[in-house]
Amino acid sequence: MKTECTKDYGSFQALGRREIVTDFNGGTISSDGGALLLREVEQRTNILQRFAQCFTDYRDQKRIEHSVLTLVSQRVFGLALGYEDLNDHDHLASDKMLAVAVGKIDPTGMDRKCPKDCGKPLAGKSTLNRLELTPADATSENIYKKVALNTESVDNLLVDVFLESHVKIPEKIILDVDATDDPLHGDQEGKFFHGYYKAYCYLPLYIFCGESLLCARLQTADIDAAAGTVEELGRIVQRIRQVWPDVKILVRGDGGFCREHIMIWCEDNDIDFLFGLPKNSRLGKKIEEELAFAKALFQCSGEPSRIFKDFCYKTIDSWRWQRRVVGKAEHLAKGSNPRFVVTSLKAEEYDAQKLYEKVYCARGDMENRIKEQQLMLFADRTSTNKMQSNQVRLYFSSLAYTLMQTLRRIGLVDTDMAKAQCATIRLKLFKIGARIKITVRKVWISFAEGYPYKSIFIQIMRNIEKIPIKV
């Protein structure tokens, strides 16, 4: 029988008289040329360097080839570039572009000690998973997993990066709190069936200030969504006030965070709050006339109508005193749609309509930030057995978001992509075809000639270059 060799080229339908022939001999080419933007951001902020310092490395330093910094950078850059699984890194271990971005001195990988690793400058999945699976109480006596994470240090880092992002001290900031479902599909530690989401899930708690992520805490779904909010706000506010002692702070959340102990904490710590207030019959009676008037307006015009009412309200026995409540009496084509918020903000500063429409409704933007992290930076990849290691994965996603948000803040300003989401940034700025040539003195990177966003890319680089490199 005649031997058939597998061809490493292909023929496609002819282009007129020209035959189209393809092969895989184009040289060292990467589809992630834009990873250099992330590298430049890191050079100027040291976000990942400080993240790496949150780990304690118990490995024998004489026997390792991948420092914690390069491992952390590889994992975070991988998420930013769209590689969600550790399995991807068995292929990415040979990626010279990622090796350049991570900072490998020899991006060819020819300096590896083991012959089978030559040509692979980066770590594979088996090495990277030690960052996630090392127990919190690990010591040098552990056999394989010896890179332990200090979670308190990571929590502080997220707040510090937020503080550093402001050139001037703001007069007022808004801390948005929210929880969301993180569906589970295996036998993970802490899994619980949540009746509202109708699935087994975790219920992570997020705190944002604008586009800046301040907290991403993994929690089980068998507790109140607002559980742990006071503790997280307490440490965040303390760290903020150490730097900005006079800043005014508003805590904002939906009805799931309208809890007496949270409002009491805010009042006792000179912090304003604005929370959605779940409907009940007593609140409904407060705006009966406004609802009837809104319905009449709708019947006359056929257009949605809304009327606001400002009043004081106290629950029968759960609130310690009366608080300001704003009711929205709205009538839509589907019928009556009353809504309520409770706040410590004064009517002299915000009237009822402005408070609801301009201040409260703006919290919806936080949901976009959560979607960015969960859907675009894979915060929902909590598939390890242990809850602690899933929290570490959430931290990696959080740092990937923080790095990309920093790129958006200092690099994309005054460009057409200033408000672009992470997926758009990845598609248009990172996924660039580039040929890499490595010589003794230089790394030559030639981007695709037909790259459609060349002018924006150049402008972004100029913006980043204005920021001095941190030593």
The answer to the question of residue 305 being in a domain is yes
Query: Is-contact 133 146, C-beta < 8 A?
Result: no
Same domain, 309 and 249: yes
pLDDT of res. 277? 94
The answer to the question of residue 389 being in a domain is no
Same domain, 332 and 461: no
Question: Of 325, 355, 376, which residue is a domain's last?
Answer: 376
pLDDT of res. 10? 65
Same domain, 340 and 455: no
Which domain does 117 fall in, by range? 29-35+43-136+415-465
Taking residues 330-348, what's their average pLDDT?
93
Task: Please state whether beta strands 248-253 and 272-276 pair in parallel, antiparallel, or not at all (unpaired).
Answer: parallel
Closest C-alpha to 38, from 88, 8, 79, 7: 79
- How does pLDDT run across 257-275, given as a tens digit for each residue? 999 999 999 999 999 999 9
Question: Of 328, 345, 376, which residue is a domain's last?
Answer: 376
Return the CATH number at 336: 3.90.350
β-pair partners for 29: 435
- How does pLDDT run across 51-61, given as a tens digit for each residue? 999 999 999 88
Distance CA 383, CA 201 (A): 11
Same domain, 273 and 369: yes
Same domain, 220 and 330: yes
Taking residues 234-263, what's their average pLDDT?
96
Same domain, 176 and 68: no
| Structure tokens, 250 | 């508003």
Q: How confident is the model at residue 143 (pLDDT cuts 50, 70, 90)?
A: confident
Same domain, 127 and 161: no
The answer to the question of residue 187 being in a domain is yes
Q: State what percent of residues in the chain have pLDDT above 90.
A: 81
Same domain, 104 and 166: no
Same domain, 192 and 129: no
Helix (H, G, I), strand (E, B) or coil at 423: helix
- How does pLDDT run across 438-457, given as a tens digit for each residue? 998 999 999 999 999 999 99
What mean pLDDT is reported for the chain?
92
Same domain, 257 and 112: no
- How does pLDDT run across 347-356, given as a tens digit for each residue? 999 999 999 9
Same domain, 269 and 199: yes
Q: Give the DSSP H or E segment for 78.
A: helix 68-80
The total number of structural domains that make up the chain = 2
- Based on its alpha-carbon atoms, the radius of gyration of the chain, rounded to whole angstroms, reads 27
Query: Is residue 71 over pLDDT 70?
Result: yes
CB atoms within 10 A of CB 145: 17
Same domain, 192 and 51: no
Query: Is residue 4 over pLDDT 70?
Result: no
The answer to the question of residue 403 being in a domain is no
Query: Is-contact 129 75, C-beta < 8 A?
Result: no
- How does pLDDT run across 391-444, given as a tens digit for each residue? 999 999 999 999 999 999 999 999 999 999 999 999 999 999 999 999 989 999
pLDDT of res. 8? 58
Query: Is residue 181 over pLDDT 60?
Result: yes
The answer to the question of residue 16 being in a domain is no
The answer to the question of residue 396 being in a domain is no
Taking residues 26-41, what's their average pLDDT?
92
Query: Is-contact 362 7, C-beta < 8 A?
Result: no
The answer to the question of residue 433 being in a domain is yes
Distance CA 185, CA 3 (A): 46
Distance CA 41, CA 43 (A): 5
Question: Of 354, 376, 398, which residue is a domain's last?
Answer: 376
Query: Is-contact 343 327, C-beta < 8 A?
Result: no
